[in-house]
Amino acid sequence: MKSIKLLLIAFTGFILLSCEEDFNPYGDYFERYAFTCILKNDQNYQAATLFRSYRPDGYDPSTYTEDPSVIGADIRVWYNDSVFVFRDTSVARVDTSRYKTPFRYYYNDKFRVASRKTIELEVLLPNGKRLRSNSVTPGQINYNDQSDVIIPAGGKSIVQIIWNTLDNGTFFAPRMAIRYKQNINGEIVEKTKDVPYKYVNQGGSQVPVYPPPSASATIVYELSAITKTLEEISAGDPNKQNYSILQKIIFSVTAFDLPTSRYVSSTGGTIDDLTVSVDVADYTNIEGGFGLFGSYSKRDYTRLRFMENYIESFGYNFIVEN
């Protein structure tokens, strides 16, 4: 899911923005620390970021070019009667227009979280200060038997997937993607393409709309949106036989724990009576600092498949899977 792959980056951006916006050139400067970590249940690699606030010269925070990352911290997560220590590392920075040094972060690649487990955090900073937080991982997602299993489904103009609700206030992020193979000059390349749940007309163009995180335990895709997505796979290529669509469709739902759900709801999720109203710049569940410590639970729905005649109507090959 695009939203999930970018989640850590988005949270990091939120933290950096908060560091900048909290600064008042005419007030006293107090160094603060921002920590972000979203634990995952679908992989063993867990990542965290740690930054300090800073004071630029003047009003423009972009003039400050010293990397605000904090290194040398002792980061520990207690989970399932074990403690996991995070190590610091770095990767090349994609955007070096402001910071020239590598991007610093912390990681542990030895554990993943399960459903409804307590997670506790302690960060010992190099200056002796401590940050703390805790949460409970979300419950397990179970798909309802009334969910559609084939596309198209019996002449219907929609495809609907339904799952169970969890704790009051839990937000979910669904994702659908088409798997296909493309013949590029004799080389078979495997690709995926995310599917919007609808298209809307903006300025005379059809714009895809992807499912936002929300408290809803169901998602409805317009069949016309799936059809348009399939057409886009080979747009501009008259040789449709260069494309082979796999029968099984990727579909998954990610459930966020309550702190992460509250953050997501405050930054553009569906507004309803389950939404927790917070000030985004001030939102935190980190004791002694600010930021976010949370988790998510992700589960695939493996029953969804394309009908062969539907795929062949585009001129594509169809790959049957067991």
H-helix or E-strand spanning residue 256: strand 250-256
- Concatenated DSSP letters of 75-130: EEEEETTEEEEEEEEEE--S--SS--SPEEEEEE-S----TT-EEEEEEE-TTS-E
Average pLDDT over residues 155-170: 96
Residues 6+ apart with CB under 8 A from 243: 180, 181, 182, 183, 233, 234, 237, 316, 317
Q: Three-state SS across 172-222? A: EEEEEEEEEEEEECCEEEEEEEECCCEEEEECCEEEEECCCCECCCEEEEE
Q: Residue 6: pLDDT band by 50, 70, 90 thresholds? A: very low
Which sign, positive or negative, has the C-alpha torsion 87, 92, 94, 99? positive
Q: In angstroms, rounded to a whole number, what is the distance separating the alpha carbons of residues 54 and 117? A: 36
pLDDT digits (tens, 9 = 90+) for 35-72: 999 999 999 999 999 998 766 665 666 666 678 889 99
What is the average pLDDT value for the chain, to the nearest integer?
Answer: 86
Identify the band that residue 279 occupies on the pLDDT scale cut at 50, 70 and 90.
very low
Q: Does residue 30 surpass a pLDDT of 70?
A: no
Asked if 139 contacts 297 with a C-beta cutoff of 8 angstroms, the reply is: yes
pLDDT at 25 over 60: no
At residue 293, what are phi and psi to the nearest 5 degrees?
Answer: -125, 120
Does 302 have pLDDT greater than 90? yes
Q: Is 319 helix (H, G, I), strand (E, B) or coil?
A: strand
CB-CB contact of 35 with 291 (8 Å): yes
Q: What integer is the mean pLDDT of 75-93?
A: 95
**Mean pLDDT value of segment 126-143:** 96
Could you state, in order of their start, the residue ranges of all structural domains in the chain? Answer: 2-139+256-296, 150-253+301-319
Name the pLDDT band for 1 (thresholds 50, 70, 90).
Answer: very low
pLDDT score, position 96: 83
What span, in angstroms and rounded, lies between the C-alpha atoms of 151 and 240?
20
Largest interatomic CA distance in the chain: 69
The two three-digit tokens of residue 316, written as one number? 């594509």
- Higher-confidence position of 140 and 59: 140
Give the pLDDT score at 97: 79
b/e 128-148 (16+ beta carbons within 10 angstroms → b): eeebebebbbbbebebeeebb
Question: What is the percent of the chain with per-residue pLDDT over 90, rounded to a whole number?
Answer: 71
Which of residues 180 and 93 earns the better pLDDT score? Answer: 180
pLDDT at 59: 61
